[in-house]
């Protein structure tokens, strides 16, 4: 009875807090400006299946891709075991599915155990890549502090979860062999799971019945607590990518990467010079801000991008400016957007649902003009991202704000602007001389 109450409390509160924090994330994402993305549904579905589910872009780096695949596969398949944990938790049964499912049950749990071992190897490798080998993209300065801790906490949590699985199955194996298990005895002498039938007796073979039951229960409850703990950790962590990679790739940009959006609000100002009958596309009375100063000026897709980022740094590793020692790091841009958005969200929570101006903004307090002006717009970051995040779009929008609202571009660019405006070329040559090369 006590365990049923404990179980219900964990499930109800675990679900409640996850749902309420997820709603906040969703609200924050839709603080962004509207953008309609509902074309090419089959192409989008295909992109999502290939890039998010199939992890196609991860395989640009095969070793981390395979290690990541182990954790990913273990994560997905382990959830199946959760169905039984829920059933047992509510009904007080133990391994309720085993008698009915028979060898299929043995196969599934064995698969989970093998994947757990692979995930364990992957997790330990990832910890050492971060903390011992210090892979450059995993130790850049923007990861100092919380991001580094966040990454390590997730990896430790995964190791802990795997340990719980093997405590649960390993102790139960010994219990079953000695006919002490609460599982229905099918007179087969062993639960016969691939890994725990070997390591169970080795680790727990000499323990008493009471001790074994304690280890088994710690594993079972620990597994449950880790799952709900992890779920509730997600909204506060870079690890949210495991959920948001799917919508984020579905809503990917399907246009050529070189295409930068046309600002309709600018067209409304420029087009009447060329076509007196031009009808404006945007609401002429709405207050306009060209470009982006703060997160609310970005589109919801840019904000979804920020929450989908797991800070892997493939973008920054591919960035030519970062590679040559400049301040620009596409990953930091995405982290800045998320951090500022989190701050804006907290502001809204603290002020009963409305944002009270805090005198801060994405540009200035988080991202600096020096970073923004270094970009080559080369799309290396966009190409590198395993979940199709687009830092370039944000960089261009901030440049637009700096130029069109603030006139705060690097002074050398004024020459280029003036020349284009006056002579139709970025240099000081007369447009009339444009074909002089023919006779030179």
Partner 1 sequence: MNSTPIKVPTMAEMAAKGEMPDVLFWVGCSGSFDDRAKKITKAIVRILNHVGIKFAILAHEEGCTGDPAKRAGNEFLFQMQAMQNITVLNGYNIKKIVTGCPHCFNTIKNEYPALNGHYEVIHHTQLVQQLINDGKLKVEGGEFKGKKIVYHDPCYLGRANNVYEAPREVIQKLDVELAEMKRSKEKGFCCGAGGAQMFKEAEKGTKEVNVERAEEALAHNPDVIAVGCPFCNTMMTDGVKHFNKENKTQVLDVAELIAKANDL
* CA-based torsion, 172, 178, 181, 183: positive or negative: positive
| Cβ-based nearer residue to partner 1, 300 or 401 | 401
How many residues are recorded in the chain? 440
- SS3 category, 299: strand
Query: DSSP letters of 42-78?
Result: HHHHHHIIIIIIS-GGGGGSHHHHHHHHHHHHHHHHH
| Cβ-based nearer residue to partner 1, 58 or 380 | 380
* Runs of H (alpha helix) within 138-208: 146-177, 196-204
Please calculate the CA angle 345-351-357 and round it to the nearest 5 degrees.
70
Half-sphere exposure of 211 (CA within 13 A, CB side): 7
Q: Does 437 bind partner 1 (CB under 8 A)?
A: yes
Among 380, 385, 387, 394, binds partner 1 (CB under 8 A): 380
| Cβ-based nearer residue to partner 1, 185 or 376 | 376
The pattern of x and - marking residues 144 through 173 that bind partner 1 according to CB under 8 A reads ------------------------------
| Cβ-based nearer residue to partner 1, 6 or 60 | 60
Task: Give the shortest CB-268-to-partner 1 separation in angstroms.
Answer: 10
Q: Do the Cβ atoms of 142 and 335 come closer than 8 Å?
A: yes
Which of the residues 259 through 278 are near partner 1 (CB under 8 A)?
A: 259-260, 262-263, 266-267, 269-271, 273-274
CA distance 166 to 227: 15
Among 327, 343, 347, 365, binds partner 1 (CB under 8 A): 327
Among 230, 290, 307, 366, binds partner 1 (CB under 8 A): 290
| Contact region with partner 1 (CB under 8 A), list: 14-22, 192-200, 218-226, 258-266 | 258-266
Phi, psi angles (nearest 5°) of residue 389: -80, 145
Query: DSSP letters of 408-425?
Result: -S-HHHHHHHHHHHHHSS
| Contact region with partner 1 (CB under 8 A), list: 44-52, 174-182, 231-239, 378-386 | 378-386
Q: Does 367 bind partner 1 (CB under 8 A)?
A: no
Q: Does 178 bind partner 1 (CB under 8 A)?
A: no
From residue 411, give the alpha-carbon distance in Å to each of 368, 407, 429: 16, 10, 20
Which of the residues 330 through 349 are near partner 1 (CB under 8 A)?
A: none
| Cβ-based nearer residue to partner 1, 152 or 379 | 379
Among 310, 321, 329, 390, binds partner 1 (CB under 8 A): 321
Q: Do the Cβ atoms of 226 and 160 come closer than 8 Å?
A: yes
CA distance 373 to 327: 10
Structure tokens at 176: 């079953």
Among 291, 313, 330, 391, binds partner 1 (CB under 8 A): 291
**What is the dihedral angle through the alpha carbons of 251, 252, 254, 259, rounded to the nearest 10 degrees?**
120
Among 161, 337, 375, 389, binds partner 1 (CB under 8 A): 375
The pattern of x and - marking residues 33 through 72 that bind partner 1 according to CB under 8 A reads ---------------------------x------------
| Cβ-based nearer residue to partner 1, 154 or 402 | 402
Among 187, 324, 352, 357, binds partner 1 (CB under 8 A): 324
Q: Do the Cβ atoms of 300 and 36 come closer than 8 Å?
A: no
- SS3 category, 33: strand
CA distance 409 to 417: 11
Task: Answer left, alpha or beta for residue 40, where phi above 0 means left and psi between -120 and 50 means alpha.
Answer: left
Q: Does 350 bind partner 1 (CB under 8 A)?
A: no
Task: Give the shortest CB-248-to-partner 1 separation in angstroms.
Answer: 20
Q: Does 258 bind partner 1 (CB under 8 A)?
A: yes
Among 312, 328, 362, 385, binds partner 1 (CB under 8 A): 328
Q: Does 254 bind partner 1 (CB under 8 A)?
A: no
- SS3 category, 199: helix
| Cβ-based nearer residue to partner 1, 42 or 407 | 407
* Nearest CA-CA partner of 114 in 195, 197, 168: 195
| Cβ-based nearer residue to partner 1, 170 or 313 | 313
Which of the residues 386 through 405 are near partner 1 (CB under 8 A)?
A: 396, 398-404
Q: How many residues bind partner 1 (CB under 8 A)?
A: 69
Element (H, E) at 212: helix 209-233
| Cβ-based nearer residue to partner 1, 79 or 414 | 414
Residues that bind partner 1 (CB under 8 A): 60, 255-260, 262-263, 266-267, 269-271, 273-274, 290-291, 318, 320-321, 323-328, 370, 373-380, 382-383, 396, 398-404, 409-410, 412-413, 415-417, 420-421, 424-427, 429, 431-438, 440
């Amino acid at each position: 009875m006590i365990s049923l109450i404990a179980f219900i409390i964990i499930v109800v509160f675990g679900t409640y807090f996850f749902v309420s924090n997820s709603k906040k994330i969703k609200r924050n994402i839709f603080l962004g400006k509207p953008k309609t993305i509902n074309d090419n549904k089959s192409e989008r579905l295909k992109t999502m299946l290939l890039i998010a589910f199939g992890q196609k872009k991860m395989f640009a780096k095969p070793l981390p891709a395979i290690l990541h695949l182990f954790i990913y596969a273990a994560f997905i398949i382990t959830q199946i075991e959760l169905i039984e944990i829920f059933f047992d938790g509510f009904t007080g049964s133990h391994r309720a599915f085993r008698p009915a499912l028979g060898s299929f049950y043995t196969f599934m749990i064995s698969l989970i155990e093998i994947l757990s071992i692979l995930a364990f190897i992957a997790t330990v490798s990832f910890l050492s890549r971060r903390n011992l080998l210090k892979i450059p993209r995993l130790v850049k300065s923007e990861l100092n502090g919380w991001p580094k801790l966040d990454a390590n906490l997730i990896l430790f949590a995964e190791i802990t979860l795997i340990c719980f699985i093997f405590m649960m199955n390993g102790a139960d194996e010994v219990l079953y062999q000695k006919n002490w298990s609460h599982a229905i005895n099918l007179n087969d002498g062993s639960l016969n799971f691939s890994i725990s039938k070997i390591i169970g007796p080795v680790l727990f073979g000499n323990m008493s019945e009471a001790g074994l039951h304690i280890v088994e229960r710690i594993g079972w409850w620990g597994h449950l607590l880790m799952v709900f703990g992890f779920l509730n950790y997600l909204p506060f962590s870079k690890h949210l990518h495991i959920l948001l990679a799917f919508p984020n790739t579905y809503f990917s940009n399907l246009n050529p990467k070189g295409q930068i959006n046309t600002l309709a609000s600018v067209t409304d100002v420029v087009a009447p010079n060329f076509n007196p009958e031009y009808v404006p596309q945007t609401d002429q009375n709405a207050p306009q801000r060209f470009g982006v100063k703060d997160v609310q000026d970005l589109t919801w897709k840019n904000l979804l991008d920020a929450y989908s980022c797991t800070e892997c740094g493939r973008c920054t590793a591919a960035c030519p400016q970062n590679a040559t020692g400049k301040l620009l790091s596409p990953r930091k841009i995405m982290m800045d957007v998320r951090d500022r958005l989190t701050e804006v969200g907290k502001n809204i929570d603290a002020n009963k649902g409305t944002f009270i101006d805090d005198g801060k903004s994405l540009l200035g307090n988080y991202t600096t003009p020096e970073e923004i002006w270094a970009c080559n717009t080369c799309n290396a970051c966009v190409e590198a991202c395993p979940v199709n995040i687009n830092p370039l779009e944000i960089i261009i929008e901030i440049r637009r704000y700096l130029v069109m609202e603030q006139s705060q571009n690097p002074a050398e660019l004024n020459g280029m602007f003036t020349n284009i405006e006056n002579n139709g070329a970025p240099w000081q040559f007369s447009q009339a001389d444009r074909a002089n090369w023919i006779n030179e």
